[in-house]
Amino acid sequence: MTKPVLEPEFKPAIVELRNFFNDVKKYSNKQHLIVAVERANGYIYRKEFDILPDGVDDERNTFIVERIIKCILWVVGGFKIYIAGSNIVFNNIKKYYSNGGLRDFDYHFMSTVFEKEMSVVECTYKNIPQMKASSVSVGGHLEGRRIGFDVGGSDIKVSAVKDGEVLSSEEIVWLPKLNEDINYHYNFFYKAMKSAIDKLGGDVDAIGISTAGVIVENRPMVSSIFIKVPKENFELVKGAYINTVKRLEKELGHPIPFEVANDGDVTALAGALDLKDNCVLGIAMGTSEAVGYVDKNGNLPGWFSELAFMPVDFNKKAMVDEWSRDFGVGCKYFSQDAVIKLSSRAGIELDEKLTLAEKLKVVQKLNEEGHQSANQIFESIGVYLAYALAFYAEFYEIKHVLLLGRVTSGKGGETILKVARETLLKEFPEYKNIDIGMPSDFMRRLGQSIAAASLPKSK
């Protein structure tokens, strides 16, 4: 195994998972387990595998099953977990995913997003739900007059696009995280869209919206954009984009097809359009880890892909995420937090008065100047990434990986890319055809706005 030079105790999820399954094979009386997770509209994600016989090592069984369930929840999303094959594992998982349980954060997050209390249900092999997948056909629609609307935490990028050509693109500074008045958000969205409509000659055929957060049926169920809006106005938050489009429809006198998608998915879609291929996983390493995915049909599967909370390190002593209160999750391996975490191991002292972004810049500057220990930070992240991609491939069909975000800029990004490619080829030759790359100049300039504008079909 290739170890991250600054974190040799790293226990890659994929290695620990394969070790477990190899040990299970030694038992003639191994047990078959089926896990199914239900999300909106009755869609079911289902996974089957063998586990150790009950009574042999129930703690290890439960640990592995819980990690797999945790992964499914943050890859796909879901409010109901079905388990068949082990009453012992079922009881432990039910206790974990409950109010006040070990996975209290996941329990409340999923309950909020799906507006249903999360539950764990024991089933037989016969009555556990079958797989029911969804694939949302969005993107690649460039005909007519369109608006690409990219809502960020500090600015809104709005583009007027006609038949695939960007007529205008502007960045509008705004302060969503400092404003609790929902009308501030509504008015900003409306004015920005109206400005783009004027650039299109006074009318629009479709609007595509890219935004941070978890989106369900065009509604932001959880989003940092609206963090200051009081909880009592949460229903208005959910309708922020829908209601803005309705207002425009009333003014223009006709329906306006529109789609709202997570910004990670739109980034992956931009990559797919640029590469002219599918099965694209986009990973942005910035404040956290943001991920999007375009499937083999060029569609968005409607999954969460919130891999910031997906475990990639099974070392129980790994760094704990302050928000989810879980260990070894992606946000501590593929973000500026990862760089800062590894800085102390590299012997680099950072001024605590600096912001996280400023600390990252200090490390990147040292690396550009040839500081060997600083380079080891990015080498370690490259190793993390190779093992994480092999693990992600358990859930996604991947042909292309697109790396973005401030952590991947400059010399450090080149090191991450190089080490990830080399490690993946050495340790996982079965994934030698996975292409890992950075955005093209086209995508950096216009890809995101065109991808957002292409989300909905026109009427």
Which residues are CB-neighbours of 388 under 8 A, at least 6 positions away? 12, 13, 312, 330, 333, 334
How confident is the model at residue 64, as a pLDDT? 98
Banded model confidence at residue 110, pLDDT cuts 50, 70, 90: very high
Q: How high is the pLDDT of residue 136?
A: 66
Where residue 274 falls among pLDDT bands split at 50, 70, 90?
confident
What is the Cα–Cα distance from 111 to 262, expressed in whole angstroms? 19
Instruction: Compute the distance between CA of residue 348 and CA of residue 351 in angstroms, rounded to an integer.
Output: 10
CATH fold, domain 136-459, is Nucleotidyltransferase; domain 5 (3.30.420)
pLDDT digits (tens, 9 = 90+) for 387-425: 999 999 999 999 999 998 889 999 999 999 999 999 999
d(CA 184, CA 163): 32
pLDDT over 80 at 448, yes or no:
no
Per-residue confidence band for 267, with pLDDT thresholds at 50, 70 and 90: confident
Least confident window among 141-145, 308-312, 391-395, 396-400: 141-145
Q: With bands split at pLDDT 50, 70 and 90, how would you rate the model's confidence at 444?
A: low
User: Is 183 exposed, middle or buried (CB count within 10 Å of its CB: 0-12, 13-18, 19+)?
Assistant: exposed
Using CA atoms, how far residue 183 sits from 113, 236, 256, 329, in Å, is: 23, 9, 22, 36
Residues 134, 174: Cα–Cα separation, whole Å: 35
Q: Which two tokens stand for residue 356?
A: 């996280």
Instruction: Count Cα neighbours of 317 within 13 Å in the Cβ-side half-sphere.
Output: 4
243-279 burial: b if 16+ Cβ within 10 Å, else e:
ebbeebeeeeeeebbbbbbbbbbbbbbbbbbbbeebb
Q: Where are the alpha helices (DSSP H) in 58-99?
A: 58-75, 87-96
Give, in order, the Cα–Cα distances in Å from 34 to each of 65, 90, 118, 148: 10, 11, 18, 42
Reported as a pLDDT band with limits 50, 70 and 90, residue 227 is: confident
Q: Give the pLDDT band (50/70/90) at residue 459.
A: low
Q: 261 by DSSP, 3-state: which? A: strand
How much is the pLDDT for 175? 84
Give the Cα separation of 44 and 35 in Å (integer).
10
Where residue 26 falls (left for φ over 0; alpha for ψ -120 to 50; beta otherwise) is: alpha
Per the listing, tokens 């935490």 go with 153
Residue 446 pLDDT > 80, yes or no? no
Delimit the domains of the chain by residue range.
13-122, 136-459
Q: What's the first-to-final CA gap in the chain, in angstroms?
A: 54
What is the average per-residue pLDDT within 324-353? Answer: 96
Identify the bridge partners of residue 84 per DSSP, sorted by sequence position. 34
Cα separation, 285 vs 292, whole angstroms: 12
Contact assessment for residue 277 and residue 305, using Cβ atoms and an 8 Å cutoff: no
CB 97 within 8 A of CB 35: no
pLDDT tens digits for range 33-74: 999 999 988 999 999 999 999 999 999 999 999 999 999 999
- What is the largest distance, in Å, between two alpha-carbon atoms of the chain? 72
Q: Which helix (H) or strand (E) holds 14?
A: helix 13-24
Bridge partners, residue 112, by sequence: none
